[in-house]
Amino acid sequence: MRYRILVTGGAGFIGSAVIRYLTNETDHEVLNIDKLTYAGNLESLLEVSANPRYTFIQADICDAEAMKQAFGEFKPTHVMHLAAESHVDRSIDGPLEFVNTNVMGTTVLLEAARAYYASLSEDAQEVFRFHHISTDEVYGDLEGPEDLFTETTPYAPSSPYSASKAASDHMVRAWYRTFGLPVVITNCSNNYGPYHFPEKLIPLVILNALEGKPLPIYGKGDQVRDWLYVEDHARALVKVATEGVLGETYNIGGHNEKQNIDVVKKICSLLDELVGYKPNSIEKFEDLITFVTDRPGHDQRYAIDATKMSNELNWQPQETFESGIRKTVEWYLANQGWCQNVQDGSYQRERLGGSQDSQGGEA
């Protein structure tokens, strides 16, 4: 069956991966709704932009009239809601924007979906799904070294970002319980891979290293994160949107727990292998590592138990961290034009980018 899937935040990192997957690997129709703020880039969707099954409109999820119009004209069978402010440091500097987009924006979208759902026939209502994409950061900090986040782990967010995502999760569950809107929720671990905005840890390290700039590491770099290759995540999200059980939550993780310092050192070793020069006369890229003051409220460890995804939806990540990080470094080395356009801001000046996108984690 061909679905009509409305994706919010589809010009962002995870959203663009979802749209590339939907367009290249399925026959579904896709509407990408994106506000085009700083962190998305329509250049990430150039390979699918001419596909007749793909449509883009620039709109803000906080704009109730625009959302009503989008639902009415596109008539989606599924909504995949990824639009969100997602960077922890930015949420500390300016939390109100995160509350507005992540909480109010989600609520506006839920109301648009509820009105649209009420207008559908019974057969169409049977198909319709609202899939809310969230983060493992809503669970806060794990205590023991063997503990894992499960779908029933109590929420204990630490930052304005994670608190705003927790609030949006609660809104989605309330619209399911109170209004009967058919929803599913996913909470994911840290994503990485191609087209990642350079403020995040992995692309920042790669691009800083190539320019001989310091590689900043918070504290001792001993914070542990579970790393999920973005294309594995995209496959999982589509599976949940189309096959997930109504009202259920699914945790999506990469089974790749790493300390931040080890992630950075691995990137440096790959660059030593793949790059034929060393900037600033350094002997190896690891020499650029610089430890900086830790951020306020920095969680020590996240780790996902993705057993439910495996058992109920038959999903497992295809990439190990070793294979995924090599693909990621190689992609950045081969796509310096995309990187340059983001770094110098030309992707925005040419009206080719800048979105919101729910990330799995802050690094």
Q: Which residues are catalytic?
A: 136-137, 161
Residue in this structure with the two tokens 């959203």, named with its chain if needed: 15
Sign of the torsion angle spanned by Cα atoms 106, 306, 268, 140: positive
Structure tokens at 73: 């004209």
CA distances from 139 to 163, 248, 254, 305 (A): 10, 17, 17, 12
d(CA 20, CA 18): 6
In terms of Cβ atoms closer than 10 Å to its own Cβ (0-12, 13-18, 19+), residue 251 is buried
Tell me the C-alpha distance between 133 and 360, whole Å.
Answer: 9
Task: Answer yes or no: are the C-beta atoms of 236 and 252 closer than 8 Å.
Answer: yes
How many CA atoms are closer than 13 Å to the CA of 201, on its beta-carbon side? 29
How far is Cα 12 from Cα 357, in angstroms, rounded to an integer? Answer: 5
**Which amino acid makes up residue 309?**
M
Q: DSSP letters along 274-304, please?
A: H-S--GGG-SSGGGGEEEEPPPTT---B--B
The amino acid that residue 348 corresponds to is: Q
Quick check: 106 and 172 in contact, CB under 8 A? yes
> Could you tell me the CA-to-CA distances from 363 to 147, 161, 177, 291, 300 in Å, in that order?
20, 13, 33, 15, 12
Sheet strands side by side (includes 4-8): 54-58, 29-34, 4-8, 78-81, 129-135, 183-188, 249-252
Query: Is the distance from CB of 97 to CB of 143 less than 8 angstroms?
Result: no
